[in-house]
Structure 1
């Protein structure tokens, strides 16, 4: 009887243990995440925007360079010549604008002079007309009196000569008025022509300025600076070689801000939080540990690391995680494969 009781107790204990282990929430939690990663850093490939021959490379592999420093310079004699030609073109266009504007002002002044001439010529014409009419009446009266033999032939001839003189003056005034009107019309045409020339000159000036901007930009592009501070890890070309846009001359990496890139399965990513502590080791540096903090967790799942063949279930995908690396001695290098462990204490943060 006692034996049966002991067996029953053992069975009960085993059942209770199994229930505790298998029940939801009763599974043993993983105390740390272990995976592998790659050491990376902000990397910039220095290339040119214009083709040309390399005149000077100011750094070599292993050199430290600061942001904004000139690292490559191309030969620029031809581009400098084009810039000077463009500047000369601007000066010519400006001169043409000045000449056209001066011509416009002359045409405007010509209109004012012509209008004043028209007023004076019209007044002279009216005065000549009045004098001619008076002389015509006097000549007609003298002709009547001469027919009645009341005046001499000489008196009649004087009145006829006076009329002819005033008639000639009237015709001259008519010609002067016509000339003044023609001058005004010519000045008005000159204004239109000068305005057109100004528009053309200003268009040429804009084109010359654009030409200068284009060549100046190309000249500026012969001097290449680094957009980041870092270390030159690769020098692809040498001085004297010809380079075309897009071809890498130097590769610069920010060695002071390295990080480890790793991919963690979606089944474990929930245990990783920003600022979680990480321990990094590398086979190439045996016995030494490096430390870091999780600085970025991908917002979307990426490639699948495991394919679930059970019908109705999805593949297990991964999330990209970046760990900012403390590497004060510069021992770890970009491209190194490392082992990553996010300890239990990090999982609780």
Structure 2
């Protein structure tokens, strides 16, 4: 095998774009026979493809199936662990199925970021889309800009017209709060995630459901932004005597809560029990080790690919799949102080 042949087989869409003097998006348009591409541009791109021998097997497969063999992934979240872990698992499963991935991360609250990301992926001619950690606003943009494109969203909540794969957020929250109730806690605060996020809403509903099932009244919930700083601010403002336990909507906020409580001289779990959600890799090393809800992100990514491939094949089978979470009990929860029972 010569060096030239080896380099040709490794050519990427960006190599073709540089040689033709166009953007990679334009190359994708040519490969998808986009009607608004100038003929002169099309000829330059096709010549560059021929010169570089750009992935000839994939091109042949794409032409035969009228696909680009590429999936677009939108990560609509400022939180790193869960969405990024799901993205890696999704990418691994997609590559096994013969698809490459184009991904974008949207980390702000502006519609512009999601709008531009969807537009870019659609212009690349992706065969389908996956949205990880979606907000209501992001799905509204997806439905408006790419209504005909097969898509799967990572959420446990049903979505009209979209396939959904998720971990049962409500069930996970119920297990966390039920654990606290079983320990004897009767006043359990909730530090929720942002209201526009599907996962935050489901976890809040699970907290309410568990309390209602036990005949307990829900105290007013606070709302954070998923960060440790939000948890720390909440812990610093916590009023002793108001509650004996706190259910934080994710582990990052739980970490901040624990530090904020400690700066008030409150001990976890002797004075206040704390539960998180996600089971970060470092959660077992918190002081104390954090009781939390574990999500199997690897299984989630694989399941999402299966659902999207079904949509690409026009399969009328399963449109929604939910994975059960698991409660992991560690040292941040205990029975409430004797004088509060």
Report which of the two structures shows the higher radius of gyration computed on alpha carbons: 1
- Higher relative contact order, structure no. (Cα contacts within 8 Å, ≥ 6 residues apart): 1
TM-score normalised by structure 2 residue count: 0.17
Structure with greater strand share of residues: 1
